[in-house]
């Protein structure tokens, strides 16, 4: 055998050469994007949005109570907290979402709402909340009327509120930006200390998400995004790092993404 007559150093070089050729061939055939890695582990569960007036426990998946602006806008704060409590008591993994907008409420008012919501849910269903209430999801975008520093302040407040709670309750930031909106550095600061739930609706958000310092993302996909970002499989295939691991009801092997829809 020719191989057995090669010196070890030459064999090592040959193996490296074979690997390089194979990788080059793969690159040439499948394209550079083929070497990008999708989320690992792949998410195997997802959250779905429901407005507060709709109660859905049929789905085996998780729920987001879509509160939108609240404050002076829809939906009423009391309907949001009641819907959250209902899902918690039904042992459904549930986020409570707000889309803070400057014409609906001030940052101070949103902080107050979050504080009240936490007190309400944790006092009414302490055990189930510990196991099933994922916490507060904040949808923040550059044209919602608040500066980056304002939403950072809100996120820090909310994170401090949930940090002292036992169980699965945290804060997630379902944020989106665009060229001319918040920069990479601002995005990183905004999501810092939260579970990032980026709305990946275009290639700019793919870059922002993949270049952020966050290694674990609760990726938000949306069938109402433009093609091809309206495909969950396409979006999830574009994002690196880990999917969000949930420990609802004591199960630690669930990995999540988030789906916007409107029902």
Q: Which of residues 195-234 bind another protein (CB under 8 A)?
A: 201-204, 221-228, 230-234
- CB-nearer residue toward another protein: 189 or 222: 222
Cα–Cα–Cα angle for 92, 98, 101, nearest 5°?
A: 170
18 binds another protein (CB under 8 A): yes
Selected binder of another protein within 57, 116, 123, 143 (CB under 8 A): 143
Selected binder of another protein within 82, 122, 157, 181 (CB under 8 A): 181
Cα separation of 241 and 170, whole Å?
Answer: 20
**Min dist. Cβ of residue 25 to another protein (A):** 9
Selected binder of another protein within 58, 164, 180, 215 (CB under 8 A): 180
- CB-nearer residue toward another protein: 91 or 202: 202
Closest listed residue to residue 201, CA positions, set 227, 164, 233, 174: 227
- CB-nearer residue toward another protein: 146 or 248: 146
Q: Which residues of 180-191 are buried (b: 16+ CB within 10 A; e: fewer)?
A: ebbeeebbbbbb
- CB-nearer residue toward another protein: 39 or 84: 39
**Min dist. Cβ of residue 76 to another protein (A):** 5
How is the chain split among helix, strand and coil, in percent rounded to 5?
Answer: 45, 15, 40
Q: Could you tell me how many residues of this chain bind another protein (CB under 8 A)?
A: 81
By CB under 8 A, which span of 46-54, 82-90, 124-132, 210-218 interacts with another protein? Answer: 46-54
Three-state SS at 135: strand
- CB-nearer residue toward another protein: 125 or 146: 146
Cβ contact 216:257 at 8 Å: no
Contacts of 57 (CB under 8 A, 6+ apart): 87, 90, 92
137 binds another protein (CB under 8 A): no
Selected binder of another protein within 236, 244, 246, 248 (CB under 8 A): 236
84-113 footprint of another protein as x/- string (CB under 8 A): ---------------x-xxxx---------
Which H or E run includes 25?
A: helix 8-30
DSSP tag of 243: E
Query: Which spans in 31-125 are helix H?
Result: 77-89, 107-124
Q: Which of residues 145-174 bind another protein (CB under 8 A)?
A: 145-146
Structure tokens at 179: 């060229």
Three-state SS at 138: strand
- CB-nearer residue toward another protein: 63 or 125: 63
**Min dist. Cβ of residue 127 to another protein (A):** 29
């Amino acid at each position: 055998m020719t191989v057995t007559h090669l010196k070890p150093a030459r064999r090592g070089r040959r193996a490296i050469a074979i690997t390089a050729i194979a990788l080059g061939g793969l690159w040439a055939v499948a394209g550079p994007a083929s070497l990008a890695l999708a989320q690992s582990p792949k998410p195997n569960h997802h959250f779905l949005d429901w407005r507060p007036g709709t109660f859905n426990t049929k789905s085996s998946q998780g729920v987001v109570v879509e509160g939108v602006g609240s404050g002076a806008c829809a939906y009423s704060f009391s309907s949001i907290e009641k819907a959250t409590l209902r899902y918690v008591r039904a042992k459904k993994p549930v986020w409570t979402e707000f889309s803070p907008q400057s014409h609906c409420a001030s940052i101070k008012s949103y902080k107050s709402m979050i504080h009240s919501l936490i007190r309400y849910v944790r006092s009414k269903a302490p055990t189930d909340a510990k196991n099933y209430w994922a916490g507060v999801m904040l949808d923040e975008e550059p044209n919602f009327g608040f500066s980056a520093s304002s939403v950072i302040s809100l996120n820090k407040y909310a994170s401090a509120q949930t940090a002292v709670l036992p169980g699965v309750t945290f804060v997630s930031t379902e944020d989106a930006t665009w060229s001319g909106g918040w920069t990479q550095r601002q995005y990183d600061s905004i999501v810092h200390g939260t579970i990032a739930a980026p709305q990946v609706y275009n290639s700019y958000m793919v870059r922002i998400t993949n270049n952020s310092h966050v290694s674990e993302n609760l990726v938000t996909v949306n069938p109402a995004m433009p093609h091809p970002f309206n495909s969950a499989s396409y979006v999830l295939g574009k994002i690196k790092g880990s999917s969000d691991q949930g420990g609802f009801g004591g199960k630690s092997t669930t990995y999540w993404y988030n789906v916007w829809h409107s029902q």
